[in-house]
Amino acid sequence: MTHRIGVIGGDGIGPEVTGAALRVLEATGVDHELTHYDLGAHRYLEDGTVLPDEVMEQWRGLDALLLGAVGDPAPGVAAPAGLVERGILLRMRFELDQYINLRPFRLTDRVDFEVVRENTEGTYAGEGGFLRKGTPHEVATQGSVNTRMGVERCVRFAFERASRTERKQLHLIHKKNVLTFAGDLWQRVFDEVAGEYPAVSTGYDHIDAACIHFVERPERYDVIVTDNLFGDILTDLGGAVAGGVGFAASANLNPDCTGP
């Protein structure tokens, strides 16, 4: 079977990282077919291109995408803040339904855990807006969207991961004492799905407590499941704990295989 892979080197260290990854891929001997795409902040600054619709359509037919990094290519040469990141990264996640972000971290035999982050909902869903923008009475709102379907498929994926580890342990991380609506949904779904996995031990930590544990006792964790925003923060902290964000692996996954 030939694996069709799209490669986006992007900006900064991105081409170097993807180049190293492709050498590893070659060493595996896996049959593959590569298509390279020139995208990123450098491309936007050249001709205004972010992610053409025809490229997105091509991606739908691939098996995987290998992305290096996107962002400003050099100090003092800036694309509008967040434009390329939203236009490529978030569009990939939403349109290809990459609803899982999986981040493994390993420092020692005792510090070996992974974070399962919901990747298409929460505060990154884009719900919100301005009232009276630019006036002294301006109001900005930014909502958090959590659907039962979105939460359940993420939680179920995390239980499957935990069921295959040696420790068979899964922690839910949230802030349910303050975020009472979203937190309640996450906890209820977590508890319901837990009944299908009696071999997996479960726990809960507030996000602030989890940050402390990441620094002081990261060996506490095996598999973690959390929402989009908390997962974004925790995985960057996890990268620092495990030796640096530059060494942290990351995958945006569509477990249903309806896209790469």
Domain of 10, CATH number, reads 3.40.50
Domain identity same for 124 and 172:
yes
Domain identity same for 86 and 191:
no
Domain identity same for 183 and 214:
yes
Residue that is last in its domain, among 52, 78, 96: 96
Domain identity same for 83 and 109:
no
The total of structural domains in the chain comes to 2
pLDDT value of position 244 = 82
Domain identity same for 65 and 118:
no
Catalytic residue, chosen from 11, 37, 175, 227, is 175
* Lowest-pLDDT range of 76-80, 134-138, 178-182, 231-235: 76-80
- Write the CB contacts of 11 (distance below 8 Å, at least 6 apart in sequence): 40, 41, 42, 68, 69, 70, 71, 72, 73
Catalytic residue, chosen from 37, 44, 99, 124, is 124
* Identity of the amino acid at 246: G
Q: pLDDT tens digit string along 84-120?
A: 999 999 999 999 999 999 999 998 888 899 999 999 9
pLDDT greater than 70 at residue 54: yes
Domain identity same for 84 and 167:
no
Average confidence score pLDDT of the chain: 95
Q: Is residue 236 annotated as a catalytic residue, yes or no?
A: yes
Domain identity same for 161 and 248:
yes
Question: Residue 125 sits in which domain range?
Answer: 98-260
Domain identity same for 122 and 236:
yes
Domain identity same for 30 and 121:
no
Domain identity same for 180 and 193:
yes
Task: Report the share of the chain in percent with pLDDT over 70.
Answer: 98
CA-based torsion, 247, 231, 253, 86: positive or negative: negative
pLDDT value of position 78 = 75
**What is the mean pLDDT of the segment spanning 187-216?**
98
**What is the spatial distance between Cα 123 and Cα 116, in angstroms, rounded to a whole number?**
17
pLDDT greater than 80 at residue 45: yes
Q: Is residue 133 annotated as a catalytic residue, yes or no?
A: no
pLDDT greater than 80 at residue 247: no
pLDDT greater than 70 at residue 74: no
Q: Is residue 208 annotated as a catalytic residue, yes or no?
A: yes
pTM of the predicted protein model: 0.93
Residue 99: φ, ψ to 5°: -85, 0
Catalytic residue, chosen from 38, 184, 191, 208, is 208
Residue that is last in its domain, among 61, 96, 131: 96
Closest Cα to residue 237, out of 216, 217, 211? Answer: 211
Q: What is the CATH number of the domain that holds 197?
A: 3.40.718.10
**What is the spatial distance between Cα 173 and Cα 146, in angstroms, rounded to a whole number?**
15
pLDDT value of position 77 = 63
Q: Is residue 184 annotated as a catalytic residue, yes or no?
A: no
Q: Is residue 112 annotated as a catalytic residue, yes or no?
A: no
**What is the spatial distance between Cα 90 and Cα 67, in angstroms, rounded to a whole number?**
13
Domain identity same for 137 and 77:
no
Catalytic residue, chosen from 184, 191, 236, 256, is 236
**What is the spatial distance between Cα 197 and Cα 158, in angstroms, rounded to a whole number?**
11
Q: pLDDT tens digit string along 160-192?
A: 999 999 999 999 999 999 999 999 999 999 999
pLDDT value of position 76 = 62
Residue that is last in its domain, among 46, 75, 96: 96
3-class SS of residue 32:
strand
DSSP 77: B
Domain identity same for 123 and 182:
yes
CA atoms within 13 A on the CB side of 213: 18
pLDDT value of position 75 = 62
